[in-house]
Structure 1
Amino acid sequence: MRHTIVMTGASGGIGRVAAEYILRRSPDAHLVVVARGPSGARTAAELGTGGHAVSHVSADLGSLQSVRSAATEIRDRLERGELPPLRGFVGNAGVQYSNALTEGPDGFESTFTVNVLANHLFVRLLQDRFAAPARIVITTSDTHFGDFRHNLGLVPGPVWKSPDALARTGAFSAPDTVAAGRTAYSTSKLATIYLVHAYARRLPAGIDAVTYNPAFVPGTGLARNAGPLSRFAMRRVMPMLTLTPFATSRAAAGRHLADAVLGTPRVPTGSYVDRGRADRSSDESYDPRREDELWAAVERFTAVTGRLGTTAAGSSTASGSAD
């Protein structure tokens, strides 16, 4: 049956690999690539070779107005019948800055805007257009654990604060440093897990939401905003770690992301998918109070009208193990 999957972060890295797998394994899918500027049109044209159905919508994920316009365009195309029923949203795009002082046009810190608010706005504005069975996949990171085993000492662990503080610049110590920028990143990835738990409790039955952790993937564009030395290390040195158990190749990470989108393995809504299997995220990531606090804040930040009620589906998964 023909269906639509909307995807951010498909222009390169693991997202590009995943998009290719999705189209190859699900030939009935129409993939809508969301990307800024000409890269979206170029990516759609390249992915569409061989007869695959691919189109694009332009959006700057650092601007909530731009995200809102993109989601509205997708809604309109669905309502006019230009796109088949919506069965998937993949929030794979992510950024990491070399400080915690980068502010977007809406007045929010840019890491939080792209990694948290943009995904939430897409989910909320498209929620009544999903046709069950549907799946929402948000890419997270095992940096949210905050220990050496998961981040090799490269990224500080999350420092949770009230969402009103996290959404603004200068939330962390020495905000002009690389360490603060990386702390903003790991904290934003903890926030994505909280939000997916909230979705699992609130979205109607048949619309599942999961987070996907690719683990450490060297050689992607994530460090594009870092300094020259860090960019060089990510491009030339870190890829050698894929020969060890400490890192995942881009090809493997992209394949696992495609699996998560297409529902293999089958996991309960609210799950944390660590590469190819459901696993338990950090102990800190199971906190219903923080989940509800974050939900209320991002609803306010994005000015979404209408509220989702709590449902029985996913309530236990969101606050317990996803094993």
Structure 2
Amino acid sequence: MKNCMSVDQRTIFVTGATSGIGLATAKALAGMGAFVIGSGRSVERCQKAEALIRRDYPDSRVTYLTADLSSQRQIRHLARDIRSILVKTFEKPVLDTLINNAGAFYSRYTESEDGIEATFAVNHLAPFLLTHELLPLLAESTDGRVVTVGSGSHFHAKMKWRDLQLHRFYFGWNAYKQSKLGNVLFTYEFNRRFHQKTGIRAFVADPGLVQTPIAMKQSGFLVKTFWKHHIKKGALPEEGAKTSIFLAMDPNPLKHNAIYWKYEKPLAPNSRGLDASDAQRLWDISCRLCQIETWE
């Protein structure tokens, strides 16, 4: 195994980094000395997040980009912007860790600009496509990593292959749980295809129940009320970010074969997430939906 580089040499990109777990992750990594690029949907919120990190860590190296991850066009543009920043900043453009943190919950059926159910588009296809676009930069790292923030809700999910985007019967929690199972299947299949070839390792980080507003943004009154009371039991975002930070920086996860981690320890995921046939099936469907001809 290649030796891991020091913190101040690492370049890390974090999606959904303007609030909650994503902001806590970006802030902690920048404070540790890493070069951090964050992203969010709002220019104003990106500016506020960057200013907050610079206020607390004046010497931090951090910058933000704006993109709506439900849009494949914007994801591809975002990847080009990341490469441009790294080319301008470093002699050799390298991305050491991609943290697919951004997530969404829609209580009502919603389609992206690409005509794809929005929960599936943001929670599964966005990490899939963004990883594809950034793979050449990740492959330049001595120990490239892809960390996708998952959820324990995937334990109660199965892929609805006959209606993957839930056109016939949409229920927000089912869409969310299925997308999180998709994160595990994607991570499993990515490692099978690319770990030996590129040295990159992919992981799923389960943050546990965290006080974040994920179910408050595109939901009705009942869902918002339930979530508001439900998250009172959860940890602060700073606690929820710890597993993502650990998987992004620490050498120990590279010594294990485990793909699913919670509270900085390996955990066996839903066995459906380790089904080789399902993983390949979802991979092929995702390539088609993202208009990727082949990704081997």
State the Cα distance separating 1:284 from its structure 2 match.
1.8
Closer, same or farther: CA 266–226 of 1 in aligned 2, 3 Å: same
State the Cα distance separating 1:280 from its structure 2 match.
0.2
Residue in structure 2 matched with residue 318 of structure 1 by the alignment:
none
Determine if contact 2:20/2:211 at 8 Å carries over to the other structure: no
Residue in structure 1 matched with residue 63 of structure 2 by the alignment:
55
Rounded Cα–Cα distance in structure 2 between residues aligned with 1:294 and 1:36: 27
Please point out which of 237, 259, 278 is paired with 1:250: 237
Which structure features the higher share of helix residues?
Answer: 2
Rounded Cα–Cα distance in structure 1 between residues aligned with 2:252 and 2:239: 15
Residue in structure 2 matched with residue 30 of structure 1 by the alignment:
35
Rounded Cα–Cα distance in structure 2 between residues aligned with 1:258 and 1:221: 20
Per-residue CA distance 1:121-162 (angstroms, 9 max, x = gap): 11011101111211110011111111xxxxxxxxxxx24122
Rounded Cα–Cα distance in structure 2 between residues aligned with 1:165 and 1:233: 27
2:114 matched to 1:106?
yes
Matched positions, count: 280
Determine if contact 2:287/2:294 at 8 Å carries over to the other structure: no
Determine if contact 2:87/2:93 at 8 Å carries over to the other structure: no
2:92 matched to 1:92?
no
Determine if contact 1:34/1:57 at 8 Å carries over to the other structure: yes
What's the Cα RMSD here? 2.1
Residue in structure 2 matched with residue 225 of structure 1 by the alignment:
218
TM-score (norm 1): 0.80
Give the secondary-structure state (helix, strand or coil) at the position aligned to 2:269: coil
Closer, same or farther: CA 21–80 of 1 in aligned 2, 3 Å: closer
Q: 1:1-323 maps to which residues of 2 (within 5 A)?
A: 2-25=9-32, 27=33, 29-38=34-43, 39-49=45-55, 50-81=58-89, 85-99=94-108, 101-130=109-138, 131-146=141-156, 158-162=157-161, 165-166=163-164, 168-171=165-168, 173=169, 175=170, 180-203=171-194, 204-235=197-228, 237-242=229-234, 248-263=235-250, 265-267=252-254, 268=256, 271-308=259-296
Determine if contact 1:138/1:212 at 8 Å carries over to the other structure: yes
Determine if contact 1:116/1:191 at 8 Å carries over to the other structure: yes
In structure 2, list runs of 5 or more residues that go unmatched. Answer: 1-7
State the Cα distance separating 1:84 from its structure 2 match.
5.2
Determine if contact 2:10/2:35 at 8 Å carries over to the other structure: yes
Residue in structure 1 matched with residue 4 of structure 2 by the alignment:
none
TM-score (norm 2): 0.87
